[in-house]
Amino acid sequence: MNLEQVVQQYEQELIKDLQSLIGIPSVRDMSTAEPGAPFGKEVRVALEWYLDRAKEMGFTVKNVDGYAGHVEYGEGEELLGILAHLDVVPAGEGWKYPVFGGEIAEGRIYGRGVVDNKGPAILALYALKALKDNGVVPNKRIRIIVGCDEESGMECVKYYFQHEEKPTMGFSPDADFPLIHAEKGILQMKALWMGEDVGLRMSGGERPNVVPPKAEAYIKGDRKLPQGQDQITIQSNPDETKVIASGIASHASVPQKGDNAIVRLLNALVGLEIGEHAEKLKFIANVGMGLNGEGLDVELVDDVSGKLTCNLGMIKFADGKGEVVFDVRSPVTVPLEQTLQRARTRLQAEGFEVEVLSFDQPHHVPKDSALVQTLLKVYREHTGDQGDAYAIGGGTYARKLSGAVAFGPMLPGRDDVAHIANEYFALEDLRVCLKIYTGAILELVKN
């Protein structure tokens, strides 16, 4: 199959379909949830559009109760899975182009979800169409699985795999090239304590998996805090003192790229008369500063995925009751149960109760596996880049299948535009990705 001809043949049609899919504002909205639309009506519209378009192309499709759906081609017992998603994060502010317009400008196509992850979902569909139109008879079934809740917890694929067959191998086009073969274990836990009411209220962070960019405290009375502290603003009157800490947000898997506002706030409060809570807040600040888990006695590392990371993601304190939430990314060769037990023991020794919020085991496909080597071979042929597979602290759909990896669509050196204003996919990159994904599927089903 001539992949250059594939691009020429399908490019305009592919872009038109991508624009149509971008035009559906498929943001999770539980206020419109109903049977068949568990994540809201617009997400259901996107799923139905995708499956209808695949059916028009001649593929077998299935809608699994609005949680997810699949498109299938080929025959055989073995099943190759390609996992993408159709839900998107909220639009946000600061857009130069229409958020759901799919406008083409500057050699790019713009719109929320164009990279994350509607573009890859459409690319996978056209890769399948190219195989079908060229008479390729695969030696296994190929199934594109499209979820509807990737951005808010992946309940979609959890439900899907409770009701449908699991592929034996596959990839998720929802990350970066060259290839991600390992993902750290993800542990989110809440530490709680209570004591006397000392006239202190605190809040900071909105999600465990984000380094908090803002945190604030309200203290009864006109308190005198040291002035001139970096990123700290103090507003006081006779009744109350307000302390605001500013930081820099980043993903919890790379906390070193951010600046934790909760840690800044807690350090600013050192020395205040806050009774029995002082030591606990000092301990929490120390944990927050230990980005590799030093404060929780989980400073772990391996040769596959590197060092453990720890993010102090949220804090709430009022009426003498406090809670903090930590997001821990544990090395892939370390049992996550071991990480949890060590952290729990340390927190309990300091007088905290511990509640596990999420517990997601690490994922690892060896670099020398046939899947990894095949995908890398195709990627290198079409880019000239000799980059290797690597590990991340984040989580993708790939971790839901024991034999899957994350594979593109972001090429090395490109801006990370997912989740931000003016999200775009360069048209040239779209062409390269169509060749990569078509070639990859072809290689995986011909042997």
| φ, ψ dihedrals at 147, nearest 5° | -95, 170
Residues 6+ apart with CB under 8 A from 418: 115, 116
- Bridge partners of 105, per DSSP, are 108
Residues, the chain: 447
- What tokens were used for 368? 């020398």
- For 354, the enclosing helix (H) or strand (E) is strand 353-360
- Bridge partners of 52, per DSSP, are none
Give catalytic status of residue 428 as yes or no: no
Residues 6+ apart with CB under 8 A from 140: 74, 76, 77, 78, 79, 80, 445
Q: Which amino acid is at 129?
A: K
Residues 6+ apart with CB under 8 A from 325: 188, 189, 190, 191, 205, 208, 312, 313, 314, 315, 357
CA angle 396, 118, 447 (to 5 degrees): 65
d(Cα 303, Cα 67) in Å, to the nearest integer?
Answer: 37
Give the active site residue among 17, 42, 116, 150: 150
Give catalytic status of residue 150 as yes or no: yes
- Bridge partners of 236, per DSSP, are 241
Give the active site residue among 42, 87, 151, 183: 87
182 neighbors 392 (Cβ within 8 angstroms)? yes
127 neighbors 438 (Cβ within 8 angstroms)? yes
SS3 content of the chain, % helix, strand, coil (to 5): 35, 30, 40
Q: Which residues are catalytic?
A: 87, 150
